[in-house]
Each structure stands twice: as structure tokens, then as C-alpha cells.
Chain A
Amino acid sequence: MATFFKLVLLVKDTLISQVVSLWKVFMHLFVETDTVQYPEQQPHMFSRWRGRIILTRDPDGEERCVACNLCAVACPVDCIALQKTETEEGRWYPDFFRINFSRCIMCGFCEEACPTNAIQLTPDFEMAEYKRQDMVWEKEDLLINGTGKYHETNFYRIAGKAIPGKDKGEARNELPPVDTRSLLP
């Protein structure tokens, strides 16, 4: 009796499982393939995918980046370098803005650090180059003509600093500038 049970167990553990495996492999011949014909066939990328970094513009069409340097300091591989400059009227913007994508690890810390939603990561990942030098992107390469993922953010309309088209007291939630010569309360 005991021998019979042993035999049954043996068949169950080895033979049946092997036959089932063979059957499953065989059945895969008739399953739809997971492999896609990239690049002819493009995968679906989710909008929160952390890919190619862009610089965006605010709803007024002006550069969002104010060159505050927070992305650069947040970057764990130090691959962002920029220099602040300003227009004659006092609007801050980057003189140059450089990302060395050959160092970038697409961690998205820069996007998190950005107080103006200027720097954003996009679902584009096709950034391979034959020459490493070509992976250094300047502002001309990074800046797009749109708002990117966040449509509303308009930093200078909230900040107290005056820029062309928005004088003191005209930002959101601001009173008109104080007249220091007035005696009224």
C-alpha cells in the first residue's frame, strides 16, 4: 500500500507537473505577444513618468524659471548648473541653464524642489546619444513653449516683486502700496 502511495506522489510531483508545464509552454504559441515592435510601436507612458526634463513657461508665455538654484542644490548628482540674471525691470531668469543628462538619474528631486513649477519631468525617455557630449542640454534645448503638466502656476503673480505688467500691490492678495506721507490709519 505504502509503495502505491509513493508512486502516486511521484507521478503527481514530477510527471504531471512536467506535462502541465509542457502544455502551458505549448499554449503560449497561441497567446498575444508582450513584445512590442519598438520604435515603430510606441508604449503608453503615464504622465507622471520621470523622463526627459523640460523648462516650461507660465500662462503669460514668459519663462517660469526664476533661477533660484533650488533644483541645482537638490540634485543628488549635481548635474544642473545655472546662472541667475535679470531683465532691466528686475525679473529674474536664468542666463544659462544646463543639465548634464549623462549624469542625470531622473530622480525628479529638481521638480519637487522647484517653487515655480518651471522644471518638470516628462514621459519622454528617448534620449540616447552616440556621443556623451551631446547629452549636455542647454536652456535652448530644455525650454518649451508651454506650461507643461501644471497649467495654472504663475509665480510672479503671487510674489511681491514687481515685474513688467505687474507693479507693487498688483499681485494676488495684495493691498495697493502704502503712501508713507499719509496720516490716515
Chain B
Amino acid sequence: MAKVTIDGVIYELNPENNLLQECLSQGLDVPYFCWHPCMGSVGACRQCAVKQYRDENDTKGTIVMACMTPVSDGAILSVDDEQTKAFRAGVIESLMTSHPHDCPVCEEGGECHLQDMTQMSGHNYRRHDKKKVTHHNQYLGPFISHEMNRCITCYRCVRYYDDYAGGTDLSAQASHHHTYFGRFEEGTLENEFSGNLVEVCPTGVFTDKTFSENYTRKWDLQVAPSVCVGCSVGCNITPGERYGTLRRVVNRYNDEINGYFICDRGRFGAHYVNSESRIRGAKDASGLSIAVGDAEAKLGVVMQEENVIGIGSPRASNEANFALRSRVGAENFYSGHSDDEHAALEIIISALRDEAFHCPSIREIENADAVLLLGIDVTNVASRVALALRQSVRNLSKNLAQESRIPVWQDSAVRELAQDQLSPLAIFSVGATRLDDVATFKVNLAPDELLKAAVQLDSVISGESVDGSHADIGPTPKCLNQISEALLGASNPLIVCGTSAGVEMLRVATNIGHSIRAQRDVAVDLALLPTEGNSVGHALMVREGNTLGEAFERIAKNSIKSALILENDLYNRAPSAKVIAAFESLENRIVIDHIETKTTQASTLLLPSTAFSEHEATFVNYEGRAQLSFQVNDCGTSAKAAWRWLLDEESHSPDSVISKCSEDISDFSKLTECLPKAGSLVAGMKVPRQSHRYSGRTAMSAKANVHEGKQAVDKDSVMSFSMEGVYPQKDASILASPWAPSWTSNQSISKFQSEVNGALKQGQSGVHLLSRCNKGFKYKVEVPEKTIQGLQIFPAQHIFGSEELSGHAPPIQERMTDAYAAISPKTASEIGVDAGDFVRFRGSEICVEVSIRVLVPDAVVLVYPGNRAAGVHFNFRDIGRSQILERVETAPEKIASTRLGLSQLLVNDLFGERG
């Protein structure tokens, strides 16, 4: 620690950081623009000027940029110095010379870093008598609006988009006061993390287009801390509501998980909550609406029968799954995963209990210095992990910088030093992935060969002799040796695999983990990624052997008359024929869901449940970390949280369900630790969901009735549906939307962190449910012999469309594509098809468009089944593992009428993959 005197006060600062970061950590107000806690310093904006003195006798001092000045022991500084203040006011005045008079019509207004910094620096009136520079805007797709006039050229956008997120289509153009940030041509911003530009841009150049359509100022949003259910990462988010609809989702800082950034599926996919296809009332078998009381009575009658089975859901909360499990009995509670995914999750859970491994958080993934990706397209399955992996490949440059005694925060110096050198990232995949541009080793093979190559790699790592018979197709022994050396030589090696890679590949991934573990003293980082928000939590509740297939078999034996299906579309989980057969033999098909699916259409009793923002719930992410998500608003319909349909509502609250769950299921024994601590509230007062500036309270509902109703009371949680109460400043875990005096934007988060980039002050980041006490073993992997005719099928994933719920969000639908079959040019010429032709899978009615891609291995077809919410789609499980494609002369009429087209297949554009 270095002792530094700032304005006469002695602070102990971390000498590894720059002065600006340390000043902010100490809670000092130093204005800045170009610096970002995640992106280091470049010293572009000159706003963070402070005065540095040589020694006690120096009265004149020198103005330095805090972000470019290392903390040095004994330094004497001043932030409040008059000359420095005048300097900062001058800088902001010149930055503002061309800033338009736009604040009232700007979406950033009220949470604008530029507004904050202008006020802080004391600039009021424009004295510059020349004309303002103006720019044309660009269309940047359905997510982001562009208003280039507002730019102050801090370069944060390109530094984030290009350098941090790996985007290629946003650049700084022209020079001097003509500098322009945009695309070469108008068009959709391709990067999957483009939404973060909204929060990274300190002004209103990049704003949330979906939010602007139903715009509400920050102070008017009713917010609560929530958790994203878009994938298995469990990013922390803050949804905002007004007039009963979800208005937007922004990132909520969590130092261990998402940090400052979330993906576009999480940010824009949550709009499904407002979708037309939401279920707003109970319905009977004929689809007619019935009253809540009648629905409850009907449910009660069915539940009196013996042997009612329940099928859970990986997208429903722990509480909903637990309530179903309690209601039908653990022996009648079945997995809502498909059988292969369930098998995959069993491997994941046993890996989570295995003491040989450590499951890294996103922050830890960023620290990995050698990564092996096995068969998973991370960007499209668990996007936030891909963004972290992109940072991990820069660890080499950070090491080089430290060797050369360059501070790591000197962003451009570190990048210049490392040039193209990256930490090793080995990608084993079928076809291209979005991380190929930073991969050191790329193994692109057909699924079966890929598995063989991974098994070979395992042998190389464990030092066994390698069977060289596949050297002609797979990676060379030299390549495998290099990957092995990289992983064994690294201090933080990481293996990433997922359920989408298949069960066998998951086994290989754990085997490789064991092989590495055998050669080092500490646990190996192993991240195995399921696809859905509560996959792990749901799988932990299912008794061994209670798979979906088992449930169908019991139904087929005719011993079961009634089934309760919780928030799950079974047509995505099993072949359609099996689902239809099961539904036909069931007398009562009770479905609880909040969005219309094919399964809800087949229900005999449909009970409406609430979406993620309308109830309090816990979810378990890929690490086995349980996190609490608060209710944001009341849904305003007769829908109830799923568990309320199943358990006695009067005697239960979310907290009591959580407690009961932790008592009943040993794996969930720590779940109650998610709940806010009793002592964290100020004088027992609730935490307000509305800001202290919440407006329009006596007019919002006055059109319906001028007499204002009583404020809604939240009996269940520590939050209130009003502006009454006190923010518990000490326990920032109930911090939904950061705000501090002079800091209205999300940059105010530094006021709530123990230090910049550190944990929230006394905040919690969830609870790890599972303890590592098992000794793992190596699985026996079965490499299939190529005996089958035709093409090997491998599922393609898409960030926009592969997930059930986000597909209902209109902005996401604009980025979705139809189902397709991607094949290599060679395979295409063998079948005799061209790009844009339609093919049928032999023996089925399924007919899809062909997409020809250079990087798809020969004799492989990458199949994307589309999304039921829009466009051409089919049930992926209706096609077998290996298939023959036949050309179709004319596409069926049904397809022609529902087509979205394949224009949004961005992976092609990035890597020149189009055939």
C-alpha cells in the first residue's frame, strides 16, 4: 500500500492501480469519461485532471491526468485545487462545443454521465460562438439507436465493442472534430454484446431502441434486483417497470458473475414478458376462460387421485419445481429435460461435487491462461462466458506487460506490447464459432471425429501412447501435444464444455480435467454449461431415474391418468410422436405456464403463472450458485406464481417455500442463505422499489378513477411497491439501481463497491449449493463407429432463437432466422442443392432451407430447428442422429407463409463462411 496525500488527507492506495481508479475507490468525486473500470486507461478525454506536487515545499504543482498516473508512495495531490478545477471546466466546455441541445429528447437524460460530469465540473453556458458540428445517424438494427451529434469522442464505444467484445463492425472514422463512430455501411450491429454500448457510452449516442419505444425516465421505473433466466449463467439484471409493462433491462453489477456487461439475449429477450402470447387467465379443456376459483377446484379434484405425475421445468424457479415435487411426491416428479440433456446434467452435477474440479465464476474464467473449448458454441449457448473467454486470451499480454514493468491498466501500451500474441485457446468444434478469431488451436471436425480427437487429446495429456490411425482427418499429434503442453503449463487451465456438445463429449471433458488434475496440486477449472436458467436447480430436484422418457413409459402403461406439466414445452424435449401418444392416454393434462406453447394448447386445464419479473424466486446457475431474484411488479392479471397454484397460498410465502425446500432436499440446505439478512434493513423499514423521484403517482391511474387506491402492499418480501422505505446502503445486495448524489448514471456503482471492480459493500453474490466431497473417476467413453449411412447431424445454436422465452420478444424476433440445414459446399454438390434450396430429411415431413458454409465439415449437417415463436421451425428430436437429405423442388406453402429468411446468420459474414 502506498501512502498518498490528497487535499491534505492521507490515504492508503493500491500502487498497482492508477490514481483515478483509486480516487474513485476512496469515494472522491473525480470526473472522467474515457476511463472504464473494465477497459483501463488511454488518457483520451483529459477530464480527470488533478494536481501533483513534487514535495511539501512545492506550491505550484503540475496538472496530471489521474487515469494515466500511477499511484506512488508519498505522492502529494490535490483534486480541489482551483487551477485544476478551472482546467477541468475548460476541458468539459470544449468537449461540449458541438453537443446538441437535446437533453429533453434524449433517452440518456436523467442517467447521463455527461450531464453528471458537466455539473460536477461546473460548466453552464456555451461561450463558443462558432457553429456546431453535426453528423448523420445510422440504422444500427433493432436493438440500438444512433444519435451521433451527441458524441464527445471519448472512444469508449470502439474500445468496448472492438477491443473488449471482439466486434468488427463499429469503428472510428474520419479525424479531428469530424470523428465519427459507426459502421462503414448502415446495418445491424453484429456483436452479441452490442447492448452494452448503451451503458458504456457516457452520452446518448447509443441508446436502447426497445426502451425508447416505451420510454420512461430512470427515476420513474419501478425496479428490483433480478436474475436473468435466458441461459445458465444467471447474470444479475435490473428490470424496470411502469404502467404495468416491463420497460427495459439493464446490467446489475455483480463482481463474480456478469460484472458490468450482459448479452443481448438477456437485455432485449426479457421483453417476452409483454408478449401477446402471455397467458393471462385460466382456461379449461375447450380453451374457454374460467375463474380462478373454478380452476383451483378443478385442480383440487384431479389432485385427489392417486399417482398424478408432475413434469418439472429447467426454466421454472426452484420454488415452482419444489412446489410441484411436494404436491405430487418426489417419486412422481419427473425431469423436464430431454433424456439426453438429463443424462448430461447428471454428469455436470457429479462434476460439481467432484473435488478434482473447481467450477469457475465468470470473473475466474477471465483469469484463465489456457482454455480448451470442447464441442460447444459458447457465444450462442452461454454468451457471457464467451465474453469472459475473450478477456482470458489477453492474460498473456498482461503477463508480458508485468515483465516489462508496464502497468496493466495502460491499455493501449499493453495492447501494443503484445500485438497478436494471445494466451492459448483451443477450440474443438463442429463448424465455425464466434471465438475462432482469437483461437490459437482450431479443430473443426464432424461430431464423431471430434469426439475421437478429444479422446486422443486426453491420452496425450495423461501421457499415454496415441493411436495414430486418425491422423489423416483429425488434428496432428504435434497440434495435440501443443494443446496438452499449453494446458499443463498454465497456472489456471480451463476446460469448457456444455450439454449441447453431447453426453459423450461431457464425459471426455471431465476425463481431460482428471488427467490435468493428476499432474497438478490444485483443482482444475471445469465449466460445464447447461442451456437454461435453472437447469442445475431443476436437475437437483429430480430423483434418480425419473427421466422424461420414464414418465412417458409410465403413462403408456396406462397407470397414470393425470399429469401436471410445469412451464415446459414438451415438444422441445421429446419426439413429437411420443408426446402426442402420452397426451392421448392422459385424461387430465394440467399445464402451468406463462406463455403459450404447443403444450399449453394441448392442455385440459391451463393455469396462468407469472414471468420472472412478476414473482420472487431463486435460480441455480451452471456453478451451482443459487441466486435470489426479487419481484419487480404485480402482473395485474389472475396469474399467480406457479408455486401458489400448487401449495396452500395462505400458509406460505416465498421465504417459507425456500425454507421448506432447504429442509426437504439436502442439496438445497444452503438455499435460505440467499434470503436477505434480517438485520440488513434500516430500522426494519422495507426497501423501496421506486426511486425518491418517482413521478405521477396521483395521476397515473386517475383516468380510471380519480380516487387513488392504497399503495400495493408486498407481504412477502423485504421490498415495498412504493417509494417509502430506506435503501439499505450497507447491504447492497438489495441494490437494484445505483444512484448517488452527483452520480445519476450507472457509473455511480463505484460508490457501492468496496473498491473499483470489487465486491459490492457487504453485498452477496449468491450461495454455492453443492460441496465438493466426492472423489471423481474417469468415464468410459464410447466413440461411435461410423456404420450409419448419410450425414451426421449436429445441433446449431443461436443466441437469438435457441431459447424458448426470449423468442417471444419482438426485438429478438427481428434477429431470428428460420430453421436451416447448414452443409459444406462439397456435401451440397453431392446432394445437388444450392444455397436457398429446400431439403427434406428422408422419412419425415421436415423441410428446411439449405445454408452452404465453407467451415462446416463434409458429411455433416448443422441443423438449427428454429423457434416456435416465429418463422419456420420443427422439433429437433423428430429427426434421428444420422439422416439423408433430399432436395425439395418447391417449398411447402406453410413454410413460404411463415418465413423469416436466413438473412441474420451473422456467423457467416464474420468468417467469410458463405459458400
Contact A178 B100 (CB under 8 A): no
Whether A160 is near chain B, meaning CB under 8 Å from some CB there, is yes
Q: Contact mask A56-84 → B, CB, 8 Å, 1/0?
A: 00000000001111101101011111111
CA distance A71 to B180 in the complex (A): 34
Contact B698 A84 (CB under 8 A): no
Residues in A whose Cβ lies below 8 Å from that of B216: 69, 83-84
Given B135, B147, B182, which contacts A161 in the complex, CB threshold below 8 Å? B147
CA distance A132 to B708 in the complex (A): 12
Task: Tell me the count of chain B residues lying within 8 A, CB to CB, of chain A.
Answer: 45
Given A79, A83, A161, A178, which contacts B174 in the complex, CB threshold below 8 Å? A178
CA distance A177 to B151 in the complex (A): 13
Most chain-A Cβ atoms within 10 A of its Cβ — which of B100, B133, B134, B178? B134
Given A160-B149, A175-B132, answer yes or no on A92-B695 (Cβ-Cβ < 8 Å): no
Given B131, B214, B700, which contacts A175 in the complex, CB threshold below 8 Å? B131
CA distance A10 to B697 in the complex (A): 64
Nearest residue, chain B, Cβ from A96: B703
Q: Contact mask A151-178 → B, CB, 8 Å, 1/0?
A: 0000100111110000011010111111
Given A115-B103, A160-B102, A160-B149, answer yes or no on A103-B698 (Cβ-Cβ < 8 Å): yes
Given B178, B243, B702, which contacts A100 in the complex, CB threshold below 8 Å? B702
Whether B176 is near chain A, meaning CB under 8 Å from some CB there, is yes
Given A159-B102, A160-B149, answer yes or no on A173-B698 (Cβ-Cβ < 8 Å): no
CA distance A69 to B216 in the complex (A): 8
CA distance A76 to B138 in the complex (A): 40
Contact A81 B105 (CB under 8 A): no
CA distance A13 to B288 in the complex (A): 92
Nearest residue, chain A, Cβ from B705: A133
| Interface residues on chain A, size class | 35 or more
Whether B441 is near chain A, meaning CB under 8 Å from some CB there, is no
Q: Contact mask B175-191 → A, CB, 8 Å, 1/0?
A: 01010101000000000
Nearest residue, chain B, Cβ from A116: B104
Contact B134 A81 (CB under 8 A): no
Whether A180 is near chain B, meaning CB under 8 Å from some CB there, is yes
Q: Contact mask B189-216 → A, CB, 8 Å, 1/0?
A: 0000000000000000000000010111
Whether B706 is near chain A, meaning CB under 8 Å from some CB there, is yes
Whether B696 is near chain A, meaning CB under 8 Å from some CB there, is yes
Measured between C-beta atoms, what is the minimum distance from B852 to chain A in Å? Answer: 34
Nearest residue, chain A, Cβ from B99: A160
CB-contacts of B673-728 with A (<8 A): 693-700, 702-703, 705-707
Whether B109 is near chain A, meaning CB under 8 Å from some CB there, is yes
CA distance A72 to B691 in the complex (A): 14
Contact B699 A100 (CB under 8 A): yes
Residues in A whose Cβ lies below 8 Å from that of B135: 168, 177-178, 180
Whether B173 is near chain A, meaning CB under 8 Å from some CB there, is yes
Most chain-A Cβ atoms within 10 A of its Cβ — which of B102, B104, B132, B178? B104
Residues in A whose Cβ lies below 8 Å from that of B670: none
Given A78-B695, A174-B134, answer yes or no on A84-B706 (Cβ-Cβ < 8 Å): no
Residues in B whose Cβ lies below 8 Å from that of A72: 220, 695-696, 699
Residues in A whose Cβ lies below 8 Å from that of B243: 83
Whether B517 is near chain A, meaning CB under 8 Å from some CB there, is no
A-B Cβ contacts below 8 A, count: 134
Q: Contact mask B119-146 → A, CB, 8 Å, 1/0?
A: 0000000000001111111000000000
Contact B698 A78 (CB under 8 A): yes
Contact A98 B136 (CB under 8 A): no
Q: Contact mask B880-914 → A, CB, 8 Å, 1/0?
A: 00000000000000000000000000000000000
Contact A136 B706 (CB under 8 A): yes
Whether B739 is near chain A, meaning CB under 8 Å from some CB there, is no
Contact B173 A98 (CB under 8 A): no
Whether A122 is near chain B, meaning CB under 8 Å from some CB there, is no
Whether A138 is near chain B, meaning CB under 8 Å from some CB there, is yes
Whether B786 is near chain A, meaning CB under 8 Å from some CB there, is no
Residues in A whose Cβ lies below 8 Å from that of B707: 132
CA distance A112 to B702 in the complex (A): 24
Whether A55 is near chain B, meaning CB under 8 Å from some CB there, is no
Contact A79 B698 (CB under 8 A): yes
Contact B173 A180 (CB under 8 A): yes
Given A66-B105, A178-B178, answer yes or no on A103-B699 (Cβ-Cβ < 8 Å): yes
CB-contacts of B64-115 with A (<8 A): 100-105, 109-110
Residues in B whose Cβ lies below 8 Å from that of A119: none
Residues in B whose Cβ lies below 8 Å from that of A136: 699, 702-703, 706
Given B102, B132, B214, B699, which contacts A98 in the complex, CB threshold below 8 Å? B699
Measured between C-beta atoms, what is the minimum distance from B219 to chain A in Å? Answer: 6
Whether B594 is near chain A, meaning CB under 8 Å from some CB there, is no
Residues in A whose Cβ lies below 8 Å from that of B133: 175, 178
Contact A75 B695 (CB under 8 A): yes
Given A73, A99, A168, which contacts B149 in the complex, CB threshold below 8 Å? A168
Contact B105 A68 (CB under 8 A): yes
Contact A69 B702 (CB under 8 A): no
Residues in A whose Cβ lies below 8 Å from that of B217: 69, 73
Contact B131 A174 (CB under 8 A): yes
Q: Contact mask B140-178 → A, CB, 8 Å, 1/0?
A: 000000010110000000000000000000000110101
Measured between C-beta atoms, what is the minimum distance from A125 to chain B in Å? Answer: 20
Given B136, B215, B697, B699, which contacts A99 in the complex, CB threshold below 8 Å? B699
Whether A39 is near chain B, meaning CB under 8 Å from some CB there, is no
Contact A70 B104 (CB under 8 A): yes
Residues in A whose Cβ lies below 8 Å from that of B693: 73
Contact A81 B109 (CB under 8 A): no
Contact A159 B101 (CB under 8 A): yes
Given A160-B132, A180-B180, answer yes or no on A81-B102 (Cβ-Cβ < 8 Å): no
CA distance A13 to B631 in the complex (A): 77
Nearest residue, chain A, Cβ from B145: A90
Given A68-B105, A73-B693, answer yes or no on A81-B702 (Cβ-Cβ < 8 Å): yes
Residues in B whose Cβ lies below 8 Å from that of A132: 706-707
Whether A135 is near chain B, meaning CB under 8 Å from some CB there, is yes
Whether A43 is near chain B, meaning CB under 8 Å from some CB there, is no
Most chain-A Cβ atoms within 10 A of its Cβ — which of B147, B219, B700, B702? B702
Q: Contact mask B603-633 → A, CB, 8 Å, 1/0?
A: 0000000000000000000000000000000
Contact A73 B219 (CB under 8 A): yes
Residues in A whose Cβ lies below 8 Å from that of B100: 159-161, 171
CA distance A173 to B98 in the complex (A): 10
Given A175-B132, A175-B133, answer yes or no on A80-B699 (Cβ-Cβ < 8 Å): yes
Measured between C-beta atoms, what is the minimum distance from A58 to chain B in Å? Answer: 13
Measured between C-beta atoms, what is the minimum distance from B366 to chain A in Å? Answer: 34
Residues in B whose Cβ lies below 8 Å from that of A180: 135, 173-174, 178, 180, 182
Contact A168 B134 (CB under 8 A): yes
Residues in B whose Cβ lies below 8 Å from that of A73: 217, 219-220, 693, 695
Residues in A whose Cβ lies below 8 Å from that of B174: 178, 180-182
Residues in A whose Cβ lies below 8 Å from that of B694: 78
Nearest residue, chain B, Cβ from A136: B702
Contact B180 A178 (CB under 8 A): yes
Measured between C-beta atoms, what is the minimum distance from B145 to chain A in Å? Answer: 9
CB-contacts of A123-159 with B (<8 A): 132-133, 135-136, 138, 155, 158-159
Contact B695 A159 (CB under 8 A): no
Nearest residue, chain A, Cβ from B173: A180
Residues in B whose Cβ lies below 8 Å from that of A75: 695-696
17 more contacts with CB within 8 A, not counting A70-B104, A132-B707, A182-B178, are A69-B216, A69-B217, A69-B695, A72-B220, A78-B697, A83-B243, A92-B105, A98-B703, A133-B705, A136-B699, A136-B703, A159-B100, A159-B101, A159-B105, A162-B137, A174-B134, A180-B173
A-B contact pairs, 25 of them (CB 8 A): A68-B103, A70-B104, A72-B696, A73-B220, A73-B693, A75-B696, A77-B698, A78-B695, A79-B698, A80-B696, A98-B703, A100-B702, A103-B699, A132-B706, A132-B707, A136-B699, A161-B100, A168-B135, A168-B137, A175-B134, A178-B134, A178-B135, A178-B174, A180-B173, A180-B178
8 tightest A-B CB contacts, nearest first: A160-B100, A81-B696, A68-B104, A81-B699, A160-B149, A72-B695, A78-B697, A180-B174
